[in-house]
């Protein structure tokens, strides 16, 4: 039996609610990507299997959260802030792990991984406090959160990660780092822009607050799936190179 509330929820998708549609597409895309990355682990060298495992975990965790975020949005019409930050708190540090795993074969140290994870968690926890503590505090907490983001950008562009990639003599790795830098600067920039659209923040009124989920959903799909595909391309390229050697 289909209840009236379930019919109303389906109407949001059928009648073209873009946010509802992107929640649904995000869930399916993340789930399909996770299956792909898990299956493709058997196609790469042993030292790259963990990288694809992490890619699968990132998209798999996101798929689970998108399943619940979709239902929450359909039932309430509100932004699933708590679900989204739980998702990010798990997946963004894992994306930082990917930077470490990419450069580990070329000498990356555990201390670099530790710093990246601390910076990402700091960025997300302070961002969540800012988004949920009210209009009077969200600018201050947004500035604090940005410090964690800027540290990650520094590591990728000028820190240990950048130096190891430059000295690796791996064409595939350098191409991957170029693409990941684009994700970090352009792809991740959607998140602070969405944060600044909140009432009382720097871009308040520029966009409708109701459109934030649309931006976030598209950014999540591009960044998380794109990250995994870049990692996959490096793993496949390096595996083929090793096979020919």
CB 142 within 8 A of CB 149: no
Ordered mean pLDDT values, 10 residues apiece, the chain (245 residues) = 51 69 92 96 89 95 95 87 92 90 80 91 90 76 88 88 79 81 81 73 66 85 91 88 77
* Side-chain-side CA neighbours of residue 163 (13 Å): 9
Confidence at residue 50, expressed as pLDDT on a 0 to 100 scale: 92
pTM, full prediction? 0.86
Nearest alpha-carbon partner for 190 in 228, 229, 218:
218
Question: Between helices 18-40 and 46-76, what is the axis angle to 10°?
Answer: 160
197 DSSP 8-state letter: T
CB 50 within 8 A of CB 101: yes
SS3 for 205?
A: coil
| Residue whose token pair is 């990728």 | 156
Confidence at residue 2, expressed as pLDDT on a 0 to 100 scale: 46
Q: Other C-beta atoms within 10 Å of 106: how many?
A: 15
Confidence at residue 67, expressed as pLDDT on a 0 to 100 scale: 93
For residue 191, the enclosing domain spans: 4-244
Structural domains counted in the chain:
1
CATH code, domain with 232: 1.20.1070.10
Confidence at residue 1, expressed as pLDDT on a 0 to 100 scale: 45
CB 73 within 8 A of CB 82: no
For the chain, counts of helices (H) and of strands (E) = 11, 0
Contacts by residues 140-149 (CB-CB < 8 Å, ≥ 24 positions apart): 142/192, 142/195, 142/196, 142/201, 142/202, 145/192, 145/195, 146/192, 147/122, 147/123, 148/119, 148/120, 148/121, 148/122, 148/123, 148/124, 149/119, 149/123, 149/188, 149/192
């Amino acid at each position: 039996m289909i209840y009236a509330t379930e019919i109303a929820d389906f109407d949001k998708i059928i009648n073209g609610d873009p946010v509802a549609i992107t929640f649904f597409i995000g869930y399916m895309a993340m789930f399909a990507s996770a299956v792909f990355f898990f299956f493709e682990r058997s196609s790469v060298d042993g030292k790259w299997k963990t990288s694809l495992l992490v890619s699968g975990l990132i998209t798999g965790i996101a798929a689970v959260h998108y399943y619940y975020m979709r239902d929450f949005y359909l039932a309430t019409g509100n932004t699933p802030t708590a679900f989204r930050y739980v998702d990010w708190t798990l997946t963004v540090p894992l994306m930082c792990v990917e930077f470490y795993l990419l450069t580990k074969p070329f000498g990356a140290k555990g201390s670099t991984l530790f710093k990246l994870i601390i910076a990402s968690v700091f960025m997300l926890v302070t961002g969540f406090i800012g988004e949920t503590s009210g209009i009077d505090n969200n600018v201050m907490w947004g500035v604090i959160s940005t410090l964690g983001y800027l540290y990650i950008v520094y590591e990728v562009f000028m820190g240990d990660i950048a130096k190891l990639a430059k000295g690796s003599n791996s064409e595939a790795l350098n191409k991957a780092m170029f693409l990941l830098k684009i994700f970090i600067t352009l792809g991740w920039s959607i998140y602070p822009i969405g944060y600044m659209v909140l009432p009382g923040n720097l871009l308040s009124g520029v966009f409708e607050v109701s459109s934030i989920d649309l931006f976030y959903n598209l950014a999540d799909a591009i960044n998380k799936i794109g990250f995994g595909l870049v990692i996959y391309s490096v793993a496949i390229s390096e595996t083929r190179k090793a096979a020919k050697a």
